[in-house]
Structure 1
Amino acid sequence: MKMLNELKQKLENAKNAAKELVANENATLEEIQAKDREIESLQARIKVLEKTEPQDRTENTEIPLDNPENNIDYKTVFMKAFKGQPLSAKESDMLKVQGALSSATGEDGGYLIPIDQQTRVNELKRSLPALENYVKVEPVRTLTGSRNIEKNALYTPFQEFTEGNDVPASDAPQFTNIPYAIKDRGGILPVPNNLMNDSDIAIESYLNSWLAKKSVATRNKLILDLLNTLTKVPVTDLTDLKEIFNIELDPAIEASAKVFTNQDGFNWLDTLKDAEGKFMVQPNPLEPTKKMLFGKYEIVVLSNKAMATRNDGTNYQAPIIIGDMEEAVVLFDREQMSLLSTNIGGQAFTKNRTDIRAIQREDVKMFDSEAVVFAEINVGTV
């Protein structure tokens, strides 16, 4: 059974790798043919093993990830394991096989959270100030690989030609090949045992809120750390700010630009006035809770804790990032989170609590550094 699961996992990985090769313009015919032969070999070995392995055991334990009916059973077993309740051999196999089929977890990777719970976590993340909502997100199935992503390029006009002659070739879409390497990131949440004795719904709600906040904080930092590598452009007044939109950004980018800043930066923007004394920041007439700069550009405000004001040794420099974040940054999302809990390991036993370990998987890459301008405004001396 273990060998069969391992072969199926290798087959899934080989298929994903084959898709990556086909999408990669630099892949050679020999590489593609070699991967095709590997897939055929794995399929043949699986076919032989399935004839020799007991079929009832395979059918009872393999739980497809995308089957909602099976997900209900999996969720029940997941919550039992999560709360430290004893599992039958069949239930234990169900958790192991679900993890094996996903290729998301290693031997010590924890248990994948149920599909509907992952969906709820994603919904909560969208309600938080998450930069992930503004960058290009590429779901991936393998730990390493690459994606060919189309750039927002300037297209050349059609050429004139005479009837009867060949139609001249036009410019093709411009693609950039971006490699990725998924990394695990996680943390530990200590939970009082009296909460673990509560209902499954209460525990799930508590966990979902924590997972959403931690995931947003993690990805915000990854994206901001990447953007912080850009050259900083000093801004002192309204004229400098307008110059970024009018000159520094390509018109194609400017049309979809947004303003990303922290509380200090927003406070400075909120005081800007034109020559007639009219404030430059106004509510969005369609969504009054959102603010617009110059009546055109949405302002996304993060807390000073999430998006820090830089201390340059003499002054505090507040960040104001202007541009199209979706054209600037790509987040490769491995999509699935895993959880594992213990009430005896670490300090959990002595402190009468349950420690929960969460792991998520992603990579963040720069796509087009010219799609954003990282401006800074002096908001006071140190």
Structure 2
Amino acid sequence: MNEELLKMLNAINSKKEEAKKLVMEDKIEEAKTAKDELIKLQNKFDIAKDLFDQQEKSKDEEIKNKVKKLTVEDEEKKGHNAFVNVFTAGVLKKAVNEEDVKIYNQMTEADPTEGVSDGGLTVPQDIRTQVKELRRSLDALEPFINVEPVTTLSGSRVIEVNADQVPFDNVDEAAQFPDVDTPKFKNISYKVVKKGGILKVTRELLQDSAENILSYLTNWIGKKARVTRNFLILNELDSSFGGDKTKTLNNFDSFKDIFNVVLDPSIAISSSVLTNQDGFNWLDKQKDSDGKYILQPNPVNATQKLLFGRYPVAVVSNKVLKSAVEGAPEAPTGYKYPFYMGDLKEAITIFDRESLSIEFSNEAGDLWGKDLTGAKVRERLDIKTIDTEAVVKGEVSVTV
């Protein structure tokens, strides 16, 4: 109890004694007045005490939260240090500390002996989450498509074709439900495959702090995973929607034809445009007959442009999505700028096993002579086109 509350409590006790004394002296009216004052003092004290208790409770909660946060951060740091220690021991072919193995296995929910004796290990969940965030940054195409986590190495999905063309019929009260036209289905099978690469680890890296080693690993894996997914997505887009299916875009009416006619209205309503720097630069310079630029800022996202005021335009680097070269590469006569229009999330799905593993070897190739160790990083995924009518690829030809 603070000093202010103690003063109020003393005032209450004094007022009680005063009221008792007035009663004993048969001064009833004065005693009533003292009682009323006592009630006011008591009410004031109760309110002040409640506010004080709430304030103290908030302070206690704040302290508890700080302690809890420090505990979580400490446990996370221990886990990351354990992972780095197991990783370093695997690279150097050294014995692993039992406490580190225990913490590492708790992070990965792995078998206590799995992947430790031979220097391999599973990347823990929270570090995989960091990798996922990194691979979705910068010029990542993954956010534009559908990603479905899977727990099996293979499987299938049954998709109804043109379901909106097989409507339900009217059914009268208590009447027999009629048969409906048999819908058409297609089976989408997936089989995740290993994707990976080798990180050449130096002795100098292993002598660094656990924090720096972990940062280096997650950044390297995140970058390679992003490049891998970009490559797979662009290959799938080109094989499913490119080639002979590619539309020539002569003018802006060609763009409107695709959104108004070629794409189904249910797809067009959620569609966007994916292009590279060349394509965006070309679009951004186009004006209508009144001299106004065709692309307009999105009123709810100032960093984004809209085509025809409806379709968001996403831009990736020319290094990721290349423009086709017309003529000889050393002396091009023109370029074809790519535009993917439609709902890419409806079109393509990555079936992601969401697992990462690392193995080590210093015996492959020229690693031994250069005092390097190879860290082989693996992940498992597959990519499939789900709806072959959800995206249209177009090209704008520009002469040099």
TM-score scaled by length of structure 1: 0.71
Name the one with the larger helix percent.
Answer: 2
Q: Which of residues 382, 386, 396 is equivalent to 1:363?
A: 382
Paired letter, 1:265: G
Aligned counterparts of 1:370 and 1:244: Cα–Cα separation in 2? 11
Aligned pairs for 1:182-197 within 5 A: 182-197=192-207
Tell whether 2:202 aligns with 1:219: no
Contiguous gaps of at least 5 residues in structure 1? 1-68
Offset of residue 266 of structure 1:
0.9
| Conserved 8 A contact 1:238-1:272 | no
Aligned counterparts of 1:87 and 1:344: Cα–Cα separation in 2? 19
Tell whether 2:258 aligns with 1:244: yes
Q: Which of residues 87, 92, 98 is equivalent to 2:95?
A: 87
Q: Which of residues 322, 327, 331 is equivalent to 2:346?
A: 327
| Conserved 8 A contact 1:263-1:304 | yes
Contiguous gaps of at least 5 residues in structure 2? 1-73, 328-332
Runs of 4+ that moved beyond 6 A = 69-74, 91-97, 170-174
| Conserved 8 A contact 2:122-2:356 | yes
Paired letter, 1:216: R
Aligned counterparts of 1:109 and 1:145: Cα–Cα separation in 2? 31
Paired letter, 2:385: M
1:174 and 1:211, CA in 2 relative to 1: closer, same or farther beyond 3 A?
Answer: farther
Tell me the C-alpha RMSD between the 2 structures: 3.4
Corresponding position of 1:256: 270
Alpha-carbon displacement from aligned partner over 1:329-378 (angstroms, at most 9, x marks no partner): 11111111112345565433432344332111111111111100010111
Aligned counterparts of 2:161 and 2:286: Cα–Cα separation in 1? 34
Aligned counterparts of 2:351 and 2:336: Cα–Cα separation in 1? 30
Q: How many residues align?
A: 312
Aligned counterparts of 1:332 and 1:224: Cα–Cα separation in 2? 16
3-state SS of 1:228 partner: helix
Aligned counterparts of 2:281 and 2:347: Cα–Cα separation in 1? 25
| Conserved 8 A contact 2:152-2:353 | yes
Offset of residue 292 of structure 1:
1.8
Tell whether 2:204 aligns with 1:204: no
Question: Identity across aligned pairs (percent)?
Answer: 41
Corresponding position of 2:398: 379
Aligned counterparts of 1:175 and 1:92: Cα–Cα separation in 2? 51
1:251 and 1:194, CA in 2 relative to 1: closer, same or farther beyond 3 A?
Answer: same
Aligned pairs for 1:1-382 within 5 A: 75-84=80-89, 86-88=94-96, 110-149=120-159, 153-154=163-164, 156-168=166-178, 176-229=186-239, 230=241, 231-313=245-327, 315-342=334-361, 346-381=365-400
Paired letter, 1:294: F
Aligned counterparts of 2:77 and 2:182: Cα–Cα separation in 1? 47
1:242 and 1:173, CA in 2 relative to 1: closer, same or farther beyond 3 A?
Answer: same
Aligned counterparts of 1:192 and 1:157: Cα–Cα separation in 2? 64
